[in-house]
Protein backbone atom coordinates (compact mmCIF):
# COMPACT_ATOMS: atom_id res chain seq x y z
CA UNK A 1 0.00 0.00 0.00
CA UNK A 2 2.81 2.41 0.85
CA UNK A 3 4.83 3.01 -2.27
CA UNK A 4 6.09 5.66 -4.56
CA UNK A 5 4.23 6.40 -7.72
CA UNK A 6 7.33 5.70 -9.76
CA UNK A 7 9.07 2.60 -10.99
CA UNK A 8 12.40 1.14 -9.99
CA UNK A 9 13.98 -1.36 -7.63
CA UNK A 10 13.42 -1.18 -3.90
CA UNK A 11 16.11 -0.88 -1.22
CA UNK A 12 17.02 -3.92 0.82
CA UNK A 13 13.99 -4.93 2.82
CA UNK A 14 11.87 -2.06 1.52
CA UNK A 15 8.43 -2.71 0.02
CA UNK A 16 8.37 0.45 -2.10
CA UNK A 17 10.20 1.29 -5.33
CA UNK A 18 13.14 3.62 -5.62
CA UNK A 19 12.22 6.84 -7.46
CA UNK A 20 13.51 6.87 -11.00
CA UNK A 21 16.41 9.21 -11.83
CA UNK A 22 15.38 12.82 -12.12
CA UNK A 23 17.10 13.49 -15.40
CA UNK A 24 19.36 11.91 -17.94
CA UNK A 25 23.14 12.31 -17.61
CA UNK A 26 24.26 15.65 -18.89
CA UNK A 27 20.80 17.18 -18.89
CA UNK A 28 20.52 20.72 -17.67
CA UNK A 29 18.58 21.34 -14.45
CA UNK A 30 15.90 23.97 -14.79
CA UNK A 31 13.36 25.83 -12.71
CA UNK A 32 14.55 27.22 -9.37
CA UNK A 33 17.76 25.21 -9.49
CA UNK A 34 18.95 26.41 -12.90
CA UNK A 35 21.87 28.42 -11.52
CA UNK A 36 23.07 25.74 -9.13
CA UNK A 37 26.24 23.80 -9.87
CA UNK A 38 26.10 20.04 -9.75
CA UNK A 39 26.89 18.16 -6.56
CA UNK A 40 30.65 17.86 -6.15
CA UNK A 41 31.29 21.32 -7.65
CA UNK A 42 32.15 24.35 -5.55
CA UNK A 43 28.78 25.76 -4.48
CA UNK A 44 30.04 28.39 -2.08
CA UNK A 45 30.59 30.85 -4.92
CA UNK A 46 27.17 30.09 -6.40
CA UNK A 47 25.10 30.57 -3.25
CA UNK A 48 25.53 31.31 0.46
CA UNK A 49 24.06 28.07 1.77
CA UNK A 50 22.61 24.69 0.84
CA UNK A 51 24.54 21.53 -0.06
CA UNK A 52 28.17 22.34 0.58
CA UNK A 53 31.23 22.34 -1.62
CA UNK A 54 33.49 19.34 -2.03
CA UNK A 55 31.34 17.28 0.28
CA UNK A 56 29.11 14.28 -0.33
CA UNK A 57 26.54 13.50 2.37
CA UNK A 58 27.09 9.75 2.08
CA UNK A 59 29.55 7.53 0.30
CA UNK A 60 28.32 5.76 -2.81
CA UNK A 61 27.71 2.14 -2.12
CA UNK A 62 26.41 2.83 1.39
CA UNK A 63 24.26 0.03 2.74
CA UNK A 64 20.84 0.30 4.40
CA UNK A 65 18.70 -2.13 6.35
CA UNK A 66 14.96 -1.56 6.63
CA UNK A 67 12.61 -1.16 8.37
CA UNK A 68 14.99 -0.65 11.35
CA UNK A 69 15.21 3.15 11.81
CA UNK A 70 18.85 2.83 12.81
CA UNK A 71 19.95 2.85 9.20
CA UNK A 72 23.32 1.24 8.60
CA UNK A 73 24.69 4.04 6.45
CA UNK A 74 28.45 4.61 6.19
CA UNK A 75 28.81 8.36 5.72
CA UNK A 76 31.93 10.38 4.99
CA UNK A 77 29.96 13.51 5.78
CA UNK A 78 26.47 13.61 7.32
CA UNK A 79 23.52 15.32 5.65
CA UNK A 80 22.68 18.56 7.43
CA UNK A 81 18.89 18.27 7.63
CA UNK A 82 17.17 21.30 9.14
CA UNK A 83 13.82 20.38 10.71
CA UNK A 84 11.56 23.41 11.15
CA UNK A 85 8.66 23.13 13.58
CA UNK A 86 6.63 25.41 15.82
CA UNK A 87 3.43 23.64 16.94
CA UNK A 88 2.53 20.51 18.89
CA UNK A 89 1.21 18.63 15.84
CA UNK A 90 4.44 19.35 13.95
CA UNK A 91 6.49 18.03 16.87
CA UNK A 92 4.37 14.88 17.10
CA UNK A 93 4.61 14.15 13.39
CA UNK A 94 8.27 15.08 12.93
CA UNK A 95 9.54 13.33 16.07
CA UNK A 96 9.74 9.90 14.37
CA UNK A 97 11.72 11.43 11.51
CA UNK A 98 14.13 13.10 13.95
CA UNK A 99 14.53 9.86 15.88
CA UNK A 100 15.32 7.99 12.67
CA UNK A 101 17.87 10.63 11.67
CA UNK A 102 19.45 10.65 15.13
CA UNK A 103 19.88 6.89 14.87
CA UNK A 104 21.70 7.17 11.55
CA UNK A 105 25.27 8.33 10.95
CA UNK A 106 24.05 9.67 7.60
CA UNK A 107 22.37 12.69 9.23
CA UNK A 108 23.28 15.72 11.29
CA UNK A 109 19.80 17.04 12.25
CA UNK A 110 19.35 20.74 13.03
CA UNK A 111 16.11 21.41 14.95
CA UNK A 112 14.61 24.91 14.73
CA UNK A 113 11.63 25.94 16.87
CA UNK A 114 9.78 28.88 15.34
CA UNK A 115 7.98 29.58 18.61
CA UNK A 116 4.56 29.67 16.91
CA UNK A 117 2.91 27.78 19.79
CA UNK A 118 5.81 28.01 22.21
CA UNK A 119 3.98 27.31 25.48
CA UNK A 120 2.39 24.15 24.12
CA UNK A 121 5.42 23.04 22.13
CA UNK A 122 8.24 23.10 24.69
CA UNK A 123 6.72 20.46 27.02
CA UNK A 124 5.98 18.33 23.97
CA UNK A 125 9.57 18.50 22.78
CA UNK A 126 10.78 17.41 26.23
CA UNK A 127 8.33 14.50 26.22
CA UNK A 128 9.48 13.40 22.77
CA UNK A 129 13.16 13.77 23.66
CA UNK A 130 13.83 16.43 21.01
CA UNK A 131 16.14 19.37 21.70
CA UNK A 132 15.66 22.45 19.53
CA UNK A 133 18.97 24.21 19.15
CA UNK A 134 17.30 27.42 17.93
CA UNK A 135 14.17 29.10 19.33
CA UNK A 136 12.96 32.05 17.24
CA UNK A 137 10.24 33.18 19.71
CA UNK A 138 8.36 35.15 17.06
CA UNK A 139 4.86 35.13 18.55
CA UNK A 140 3.14 38.28 19.76
CA UNK A 141 -0.28 38.51 21.39
CA UNK A 142 -3.06 38.54 18.78
CA UNK A 143 -0.70 39.36 15.93
CA UNK A 144 -1.97 39.25 12.37
CA UNK A 145 -0.99 36.38 10.09
CA UNK A 146 0.91 38.80 7.88
CA UNK A 147 2.98 39.97 10.87
CA UNK A 148 3.78 36.41 11.91
CA UNK A 149 4.66 35.42 8.35
CA UNK A 150 7.02 38.36 7.91
CA UNK A 151 8.82 37.69 11.20
CA UNK A 152 9.16 34.00 10.48
CA UNK A 153 10.52 34.34 6.95
CA UNK A 154 13.12 36.89 8.09
CA UNK A 155 14.19 34.85 11.11
CA UNK A 156 14.33 31.53 9.26
CA UNK A 157 16.26 33.04 6.36
CA UNK A 158 18.94 34.19 8.80
CA UNK A 159 19.15 30.75 10.43
CA UNK A 160 19.39 28.96 7.08
CA UNK A 161 22.13 31.32 5.87
CA UNK A 162 24.06 30.73 9.09
CA UNK A 163 23.66 26.95 9.43
CA UNK A 164 23.90 26.08 5.72
CA UNK A 165 21.62 23.00 5.66
CA UNK A 166 21.55 20.53 2.78
CA UNK A 167 17.78 20.09 3.05
CA UNK A 168 14.98 21.79 5.00
CA UNK A 169 12.17 19.55 6.28
CA UNK A 170 8.72 20.97 7.04
CA UNK A 171 5.50 19.25 7.99
CA UNK A 172 1.85 19.85 7.22
CA UNK A 173 0.19 23.20 6.70
CA UNK A 174 1.09 25.62 9.49
CA UNK A 175 2.42 29.13 9.03
CA UNK A 176 5.74 27.80 10.32
CA UNK A 177 5.81 25.16 7.57
CA UNK A 178 5.01 27.70 4.85
CA UNK A 179 7.65 30.15 6.06
CA UNK A 180 10.25 27.39 6.40
CA UNK A 181 9.63 26.38 2.79
CA UNK A 182 9.70 30.00 1.58
CA UNK A 183 12.93 30.85 3.39
CA UNK A 184 14.60 27.67 2.12
CA UNK A 185 13.54 28.35 -1.46
CA UNK A 186 14.87 31.91 -1.27
CA UNK A 187 18.23 30.45 -0.22
CA UNK A 188 18.06 27.73 -2.90
CA UNK A 189 17.89 24.88 -0.37
CA UNK A 190 15.68 21.91 -1.42
CA UNK A 191 12.57 21.36 0.70
CA UNK A 192 11.12 18.07 1.94
CA UNK A 193 7.40 18.29 2.79
CA UNK A 194 6.11 15.67 5.24
CA UNK A 195 2.34 15.03 5.02
CA UNK A 196 2.13 16.54 1.55
CA UNK A 197 -0.83 16.52 -0.81
CA UNK A 198 -3.75 17.03 1.58
CA UNK A 199 -6.43 19.16 -0.04
CA UNK A 200 -9.97 20.38 0.51
CA UNK A 201 -9.97 22.52 -2.63
CA UNK A 202 -11.39 25.44 -0.63
CA UNK A 203 -8.83 28.12 0.26
CA UNK A 204 -11.14 29.47 2.95
CA UNK A 205 -11.68 26.16 4.75
CA UNK A 206 -9.54 25.41 6.61
CA UNK A 207 -7.91 28.82 6.68
CA UNK A 208 -5.01 29.44 6.35
CA UNK A 209 -4.02 25.77 6.24
CA UNK A 210 -5.34 25.00 2.76
CA UNK A 211 -3.55 28.02 1.34
CA UNK A 212 -0.33 27.12 3.17
CA UNK A 213 -0.17 23.54 1.93
CA UNK A 214 -0.96 24.47 -1.66
CA UNK A 215 1.86 27.02 -1.62
CA UNK A 216 4.29 24.52 -0.08
CA UNK A 217 3.28 22.13 -2.84
CA UNK A 218 4.66 24.62 -5.37
CA UNK A 219 8.01 24.79 -3.57
CA UNK A 220 8.91 21.33 -2.28
CA UNK A 221 11.38 18.96 -3.95
CA UNK A 222 10.21 15.90 -1.97
CA UNK A 223 6.50 15.40 -1.35
CA UNK A 224 6.08 12.69 1.31
CA UNK A 225 2.37 11.89 1.06
CA UNK A 226 0.42 9.97 3.72
CA UNK A 227 -1.99 8.27 1.31
CA UNK A 228 -2.48 7.43 -2.34
CA UNK A 229 -5.26 10.03 -2.51
CA UNK A 230 -2.85 12.75 -1.39
CA UNK A 231 -0.40 11.64 -4.08
CA UNK A 232 -3.16 11.86 -6.69
CA UNK A 233 -3.88 15.45 -5.65
CA UNK A 234 -0.26 16.38 -6.37
CA UNK A 235 -0.25 14.64 -9.75
CA UNK A 236 -3.36 16.62 -10.66
CA UNK A 237 -1.31 19.76 -9.90
CA UNK A 238 1.44 18.58 -12.29
CA UNK A 239 3.95 17.56 -9.65
CA UNK A 240 6.21 14.91 -11.25
CA UNK A 241 5.81 11.33 -10.05
CA UNK A 242 9.52 11.19 -9.26
CA UNK A 243 9.01 13.87 -6.58
CA UNK A 244 6.09 12.06 -4.87
CA UNK A 245 6.76 9.35 -2.28
CA UNK A 246 3.79 7.76 -0.49
CA UNK A 247 4.96 6.79 2.99
CA UNK A 248 1.97 6.67 5.31
CA UNK A 249 1.56 9.26 8.06
CA UNK A 250 4.27 9.69 10.66
CA UNK A 251 1.63 10.37 13.32
CA UNK A 252 0.95 6.61 13.38
CA UNK A 253 4.66 5.94 13.92
CA UNK A 254 4.63 8.24 16.92
CA UNK A 255 1.35 6.96 18.37
CA UNK A 256 2.69 3.40 18.36
CA UNK A 257 5.95 4.59 19.93
CA UNK A 258 4.21 6.59 22.66
CA UNK A 259 1.74 3.89 23.67
CA UNK A 260 4.63 1.44 23.90
CA UNK A 261 6.26 3.71 26.50
CA UNK A 262 3.19 3.20 28.75
CA UNK A 263 3.82 6.49 30.54
CA UNK A 264 0.46 8.27 30.13
CA UNK A 265 -2.57 8.55 32.38
CA UNK A 266 -6.15 9.19 31.15
CA UNK A 267 -7.52 12.59 32.16
CA UNK A 268 -11.13 11.50 32.66
CA UNK A 269 -12.40 11.86 36.25
CA UNK A 270 -15.36 9.46 36.22
CA UNK A 271 -16.45 6.04 35.01
CA UNK A 272 -19.24 7.53 32.91
CA UNK A 273 -19.14 7.20 29.13
CA UNK A 274 -16.22 9.24 27.98
CA UNK A 275 -16.42 11.90 25.28
CA UNK A 276 -13.13 13.54 24.25
CA UNK A 277 -13.40 16.94 22.53
CA UNK A 278 -10.71 19.03 20.81
CA UNK A 279 -11.56 22.38 19.18
CA UNK A 280 -9.29 25.11 17.86
CA UNK A 281 -9.93 25.89 14.17
CA UNK A 282 -9.73 29.56 13.30
CA UNK A 283 -12.76 29.38 10.99
CA UNK A 284 -14.96 28.14 13.88
CA UNK A 285 -13.89 30.67 16.50
CA UNK A 286 -16.43 33.16 17.77
CA UNK A 287 -20.16 32.55 17.28
CA UNK A 288 -19.75 29.10 15.69
CA UNK A 289 -17.60 27.80 18.53
CA UNK A 290 -19.96 29.26 21.14
CA UNK A 291 -22.78 27.29 19.53
CA UNK A 292 -20.68 24.12 19.69
CA UNK A 293 -20.09 24.79 23.38
CA UNK A 294 -23.85 24.74 23.82
CA UNK A 295 -23.98 21.30 22.18
CA UNK A 296 -21.29 20.00 24.56
CA UNK A 297 -23.23 21.28 27.54
CA UNK A 298 -26.39 19.52 26.33
CA UNK A 299 -24.43 16.27 26.00
CA UNK A 300 -23.16 16.67 29.55
CA UNK A 301 -26.73 17.32 30.74
CA UNK A 302 -27.62 13.73 29.76
CA UNK A 303 -26.09 12.52 33.00
CA UNK A 304 -24.51 9.38 31.54
CA UNK A 305 -21.34 10.82 30.04
CA UNK A 306 -18.34 12.97 30.92
CA UNK A 307 -17.18 15.54 28.39
CA UNK A 308 -13.44 16.21 28.53
CA UNK A 309 -12.04 19.29 26.79
CA UNK A 310 -8.27 19.88 26.80
CA UNK A 311 -8.34 23.62 26.14
CA UNK A 312 -6.24 25.18 23.40
CA UNK A 313 -4.04 28.10 24.48
CA UNK A 314 -5.60 30.47 21.95
CA UNK A 315 -7.40 33.33 23.78
CA UNK A 316 -10.06 33.35 21.05
CA UNK A 317 -10.79 29.64 21.66
CA UNK A 318 -11.02 30.13 25.41
CA UNK A 319 -13.30 33.13 25.10
CA UNK A 320 -15.58 31.10 22.83
CA UNK A 321 -15.83 27.98 25.01
CA UNK A 322 -15.20 28.61 28.69
CA UNK A 323 -18.17 30.87 29.56
CA UNK A 324 -20.66 28.21 28.43
CA UNK A 325 -18.84 25.13 29.74
CA UNK A 326 -17.45 26.20 33.11
CA UNK A 327 -18.93 24.93 36.39
CA UNK A 328 -20.74 21.93 34.90
CA UNK A 329 -20.16 18.78 37.00
CA UNK A 330 -19.97 16.47 33.96
CA UNK A 331 -17.60 18.68 31.96
CA UNK A 332 -13.88 18.52 32.61
CA UNK A 333 -11.89 21.44 31.24
CA UNK A 334 -8.13 21.08 31.49
CA UNK A 335 -4.97 22.58 30.09
CA UNK A 336 -3.52 20.91 26.98
CA UNK A 337 -2.43 17.40 27.89
CA UNK A 338 1.11 16.30 27.39
CA UNK A 339 1.40 13.68 24.68
CA UNK A 340 1.65 10.55 26.88
CA UNK A 341 -1.51 11.58 28.75
CA UNK A 342 -3.32 12.56 25.56
CA UNK A 343 -2.52 9.21 23.94
CA UNK A 344 -3.77 7.40 27.06
CA UNK A 345 -6.90 9.58 27.18
CA UNK A 346 -7.62 8.88 23.51
CA UNK A 347 -7.21 5.16 24.14
CA UNK A 348 -9.64 5.36 27.09
CA UNK A 349 -12.45 7.39 25.48
CA UNK A 350 -15.69 6.11 23.94
CA UNK A 351 -16.31 8.90 21.41
CA UNK A 352 -14.24 11.71 19.85
CA UNK A 353 -15.54 15.09 18.68
CA UNK A 354 -12.78 17.06 16.98
CA UNK A 355 -11.77 19.60 14.38
CA UNK A 356 -8.15 18.46 14.62
CA UNK A 357 -6.50 16.82 11.63
CA UNK A 358 -4.11 14.75 13.73
CA UNK A 359 -6.85 13.33 15.94
CA UNK A 360 -8.76 12.25 12.81
CA UNK A 361 -5.72 10.11 11.99
CA UNK A 362 -4.92 8.77 15.46
CA UNK A 363 -8.39 7.83 16.75
CA UNK A 364 -9.21 5.27 14.00
CA UNK A 365 -6.00 3.42 14.86
CA UNK A 366 -7.44 2.80 18.33
CA UNK A 367 -10.98 1.94 17.20
CA UNK A 368 -12.54 5.19 18.43
CA UNK A 369 -15.54 6.65 16.54
CA UNK A 370 -14.82 10.20 15.35
CA UNK A 371 -17.23 13.03 14.60
CA UNK A 372 -15.39 15.67 12.58
CA UNK A 373 -16.65 19.14 13.49
CA UNK A 374 -15.77 20.82 10.22
CA UNK A 375 -17.47 21.60 6.93
CA UNK A 376 -14.69 19.91 4.97
CA UNK A 377 -11.89 17.47 5.64
CA UNK A 378 -8.65 16.83 3.81
CA UNK A 379 -8.61 13.35 5.37
CA UNK A 380 -11.62 11.63 3.76
CA UNK A 381 -10.02 8.18 4.03
CA UNK A 382 -11.37 7.67 7.57
CA UNK A 383 -14.86 8.77 6.48
CA UNK A 384 -14.76 6.35 3.56
CA UNK A 385 -13.60 3.56 5.89
CA UNK A 386 -16.67 4.20 8.08
CA UNK A 387 -14.74 5.10 11.25
CA UNK A 388 -15.29 8.87 11.05
CA UNK A 389 -18.19 11.11 10.04
CA UNK A 390 -18.05 14.65 8.73
CA UNK A 391 -20.90 16.34 10.64
CA UNK A 392 -20.05 20.03 10.19
CA UNK A 393 -20.61 22.66 12.85
CA UNK A 394 -24.39 23.12 12.74
CA UNK A 395 -25.43 22.52 16.40
CA UNK A 396 -28.48 20.37 15.62
CA UNK A 397 -26.48 18.08 13.32
CA UNK A 398 -23.64 17.65 15.81
CA UNK A 399 -26.02 16.92 18.69
CA UNK A 400 -28.00 14.39 16.65
CA UNK A 401 -24.89 12.54 15.47
CA UNK A 402 -23.40 12.35 18.96
CA UNK A 403 -26.70 11.25 20.48
CA UNK A 404 -27.06 8.41 17.94
CA UNK A 405 -23.62 7.07 18.76
CA UNK A 406 -24.21 7.28 22.51
CA UNK A 407 -27.69 5.70 22.38
CA UNK A 408 -27.34 3.05 19.66
CA UNK A 409 -24.82 0.27 20.46
CA UNK A 410 -25.00 -1.12 16.91
CA UNK A 411 -24.32 2.31 15.42
CA UNK A 412 -21.35 2.78 17.71
CA UNK A 413 -19.99 -0.72 17.11
CA UNK A 414 -20.09 -0.12 13.37
CA UNK A 415 -17.64 2.74 13.77
CA UNK A 416 -15.56 1.41 16.64
CA UNK A 417 -13.21 -0.62 14.47
CA UNK A 418 -9.43 -0.34 14.51
CA UNK A 419 -9.00 0.61 10.86
CA UNK A 420 -5.89 2.49 9.89
CA UNK A 421 -6.00 4.07 6.43
CA UNK A 422 -3.20 6.48 7.35
CA UNK A 423 -0.16 4.31 7.91
CA UNK A 424 1.60 1.20 9.15
CA UNK A 425 4.08 2.80 11.54
CA UNK A 426 7.02 2.84 9.10
CA UNK A 427 6.61 6.21 7.39
CA UNK A 428 9.66 7.83 8.98
CA UNK A 429 11.91 4.99 7.78
CA UNK A 430 10.75 5.56 4.22
CA UNK A 431 11.37 9.29 4.49
CA UNK A 432 14.96 9.05 5.73
CA UNK A 433 15.77 6.27 3.27
CA UNK A 434 14.58 8.38 0.36
CA UNK A 435 16.59 11.41 1.51
CA UNK A 436 19.78 9.37 1.87
CA UNK A 437 19.27 7.74 -1.51
CA UNK A 438 18.66 11.02 -3.32
CA UNK A 439 21.51 12.83 -1.61
CA UNK A 440 23.81 10.11 -2.97
CA UNK A 441 22.70 11.03 -6.48
CA UNK A 442 23.22 14.63 -7.55
CA UNK A 443 20.94 14.40 -10.57
CA UNK A 444 18.08 13.44 -8.22
CA UNK A 445 18.71 16.29 -5.80
CA UNK A 446 18.26 19.20 -8.20
CA UNK A 447 15.22 18.58 -10.36
CA UNK A 448 12.38 20.81 -11.55
CA UNK A 449 9.43 21.15 -9.20
CA UNK A 450 6.95 20.80 -12.07
CA UNK A 451 6.80 19.07 -15.44
Active site residue 223: no
Model confidence band, residue 283 (pLDDT cutoffs 50, 70, 90): confident
Looking at the DSSP bridge assignments, the partners of residue 194 are 171, 224
Residue (of 449, 442, 326, 440) closest to 57 by Cα position? 440
Contacts of 131 (CB under 8 A, 6+ apart): 111, 125
Looking at the DSSP bridge assignments, the partners of residue 306 are 274
Say what the pLDDT of residue 117 is. 78
Give the residue-averaged pLDDT of 186-193: 97
Least confident interval from 26-30, 74-78, 158-162, 259-263: 26-30
Residue (of 330, 230, 313) closest to 274 by Cα position? 330
R_g of the chain computed on alpha carbons: 22
Separation of alpha carbons 198 and 195, rounded Å: 7
For the cut 80, the answer to whether the pLDDT of residue 428 exceeds it is yes
Active site residue 312: yes
User: Residues 173, 187, 253, 350: which is the catalytic one?
Assistant: 173
In contact, 221 and 449? CB cutoff 8 Å: yes
User: Residues 199, 233, 312, 379: which is the catalytic one?
Assistant: 312
Least confident interval from 140-149, 245-254, 428-437: 140-149
Active site residue 335: no
Active site residue 319: no
CA distances from 31 to 34, 218, 219, 422, 447 (A): 6, 11, 11, 32, 8
Say what the pLDDT of residue 2 is. 58
Active site residue 282: yes
Give the residue-averaged pLDDT of 7-27: 35
- Across 411-446, b (16+ Cβ under 10 Å) vs e yields ebeebbeeebbbbbbbbbbbbbbbbbbbbbebbbbb
In contact, 79 and 108? CB cutoff 8 Å: yes
Active site residue 350: no
Give the residue-averaged pLDDT of 342-351: 96
For the cut 80, the answer to whether the pLDDT of residue 82 exceeds it is yes
Separation of alpha carbons 334 and 354, rounded Å: 16
The edge-to-edge listing of strands for the beta sheet with 134-135 is 134-135, 107-113, 79-85, 167-171, 191-194, 222-225, 244-246
Average pLDDT for the chain: 83
The DSSP output letter for 4 is B
* Reduced DSSP (H G I as helix, E B as strand, rest coil) percent helix, strand, coil of the chain, to 5: 40, 15, 45
pLDDT: is 40 or 298 the higher one?
298
Least confident interval from 124-138, 145-159, 383-397: 124-138
Model confidence band, residue 441 (pLDDT cutoffs 50, 70, 90): low
Give the residue-averaged pLDDT of 183-192: 97
For the cut 70, the answer to whether the pLDDT of residue 51 exceeds it is no
For the cut 60, the answer to whether the pLDDT of residue 6 exceeds it is no
For the cut 70, the answer to whether the pLDDT of residue 393 exceeds it is yes
For the cut 90, the answer to whether the pLDDT of residue 143 exceeds it is no
Amino acid sequence: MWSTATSGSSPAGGPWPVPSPASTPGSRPHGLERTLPRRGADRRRARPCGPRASRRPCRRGATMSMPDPALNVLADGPIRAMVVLGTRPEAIKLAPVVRAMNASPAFDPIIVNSGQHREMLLPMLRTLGIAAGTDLAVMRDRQRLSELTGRLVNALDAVIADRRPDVVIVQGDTTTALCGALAASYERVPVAHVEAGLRTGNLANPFPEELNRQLIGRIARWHFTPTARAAAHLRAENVPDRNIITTGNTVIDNLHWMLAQDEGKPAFRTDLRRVLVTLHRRESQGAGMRELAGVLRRLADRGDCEVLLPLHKSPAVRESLVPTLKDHPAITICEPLDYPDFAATLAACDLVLTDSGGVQEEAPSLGKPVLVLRATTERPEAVEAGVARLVGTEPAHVLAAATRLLDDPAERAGMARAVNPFGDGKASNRIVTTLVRDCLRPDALFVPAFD
